[in-house]
């Protein structure tokens, strides 16, 4: 009896790319990626050069004193940058002091404590805060936060710290509701989504075996976070904080609504002030082309770039031990 022989079907050999096609695609892709990077550098450099050249008349007219002068008098054509620089730095640092602990608590809860069914909706809600326009934050701050500050919080704090050295000066003044602290509160709410989302994402990248090993030797949840998760993700966490600081330094409309817009340095956190961004937004429409006032505003924009660069440099110095480990 003859036995049928079954021959297995042989799949056709995959077609080979033509010689040189793969290398050509790699070269094209590398060129496009490199061009994108160079374009960003050129664009950033063009903006910086434009601001410096535009602000050069102000630097020539006032010299180094422009950085420390508190004058801003368009009538006498005398301008100084000390007040907006002070307001920018103070409000941004206060915003970070308020936002970082809250953002860390949100990320810690979403990655370690919250049940699985709650993590996604809460995480989505936090991320949606970043999509709200800044002018909406400003209107919310003006119509909601300012009345609360003026009617409840500021009077209570002023009465509590009355007679206590340093604190009575730090929280002094009439309870108008606007001021540096109110602006910092609004900025804190605005930067929390950026910092919290970054922390949550990097906390999730920690290998599970690291945490399980720590739990296996008896570590608590907080000890695992402090000794395992935070050291492993320190670089990315600092990067997220710097991202939030960059948002706080450059915020305009939300701060303009609630900071009080006063051209003087307030020693009290309840006092009004100005930031570089808010001052530029208010004064730019009234600055004629070629005027010394417009040059001063452009010089303030250049100074804001310098402040952002200094912040970035400090963050790189803080991360240097980890980068060279």
Predicted confidence (pLDDT) per residue in 95-136, tens digit? 999 999 999 999 988 888 888 888 888 888 888 888 888 889
Domain edges within the chain: 44-323
Is residue 73 within a helix (H) or strand (E), and if so which, with residue range? strand 72-73
Other Cβ atoms within 10 Å of 39 Cβ, number: 10
* Neighbour-count burial for 175-205, b at 16+ CB within 10 Å, e otherwise: bebbbbbbbbbbbbbbbbbbbbbbbbebbee
Q: Which CATH class is domain 44-323?
A: mainly alpha
> What pLDDT, on the 0 to 100 scale, is given for residue 318?
67
> What pLDDT, on the 0 to 100 scale, is given for residue 231?
87
Mean pLDDT, range 182-197, rounded to an integer: 92
On the question of pLDDT at 18 being above 80, the answer is: no
Q: Residue 60 has which token pair? A: 């020539």
Q: How far apart are CA 25 and CA 22, in angstroms?
A: 5
Mean pLDDT, range 303-318, rounded to an integer: 82
Q: Residue 245 has which token pair? A: 């600081």
Q: Any bridge partners for residue 73, and if so which?
A: 78
- Longest distance between any two alpha carbons in the chain, whole Å: 116
Query: Minimal CA–CA distance to 284: which of 303, 297, 302, 299?
Result: 297
Mean pLDDT, range 287-309, rounded to an integer: 88
Q: Any bridge partners for residue 260, and if so which?
A: 273
Residue 248 and residue 192 in contact, taking contact as beta carbons nearer than 8 Å: no
């Amino acid at each position: 009896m003859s036995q049928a022989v079954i021959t297995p079907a042989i799949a056709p050999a995959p077609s080979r790319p033509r010689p040189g096609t793969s290398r050509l695609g790699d070269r094209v892709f590398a060129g496009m990626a490199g061009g994108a990077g160079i374009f960003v550098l050129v664009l950033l450099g063009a903006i910086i050069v434009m601001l410096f050249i535009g602000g050069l008349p102000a630097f020539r007219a006032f010299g180094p004193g422009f950085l420390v002068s508190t004058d801003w008098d368009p009538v006498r054509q005398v301008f100084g940058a000390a007040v907006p620089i002070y307001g920018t730095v103070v409000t941004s640092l206060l915003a970070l002091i308020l936002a970082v602990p809250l953002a860390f608590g949100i990320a810690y809860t979403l990655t370690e404590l919250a049940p699985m069914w709650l993590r996604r909706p809460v995480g989505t809600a936090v991320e949606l805060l970043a999509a709200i326009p800044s002018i909406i934050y400003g209107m919310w701050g003006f119509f909601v936060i300012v009345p609360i500050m003026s009617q409840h919080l500021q009077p209570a704090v002023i009465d509590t710290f009355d007679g206590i050295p340093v604190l009575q000066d730090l929280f002094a003044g009439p309870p108008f509701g606007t001021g540096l602290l109110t602006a910092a509160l609004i900025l804190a709410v605005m930067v929390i989504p950026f910092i919290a989302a970054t922390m949550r994402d990097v906390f999730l990248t920690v290998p599970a075996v690291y945490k399980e090993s720590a739990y296996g030797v008896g570590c608590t949840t907080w000890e695992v976070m402090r000794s395992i998760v935070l050291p492993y993700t320190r670089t990315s966490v600092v990067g997220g904080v710097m991202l939030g600081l960059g948002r706080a330094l450059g915020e305009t409309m939300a701060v303009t609504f609630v900071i009080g817009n006063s051209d003087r340095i307030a020693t009290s956190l309840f006092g009004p002030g100005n930031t570089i961004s808010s001052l530029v937004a208010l004064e730019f429409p009234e600055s004629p082309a070629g005027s010394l006032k417009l040059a001063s505003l452009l010089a303030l924009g250049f100074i804001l770039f310098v402040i952002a660069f200094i912040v970035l440099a400090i963050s790189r110095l803080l991360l240097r031990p980890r980068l060279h480990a």
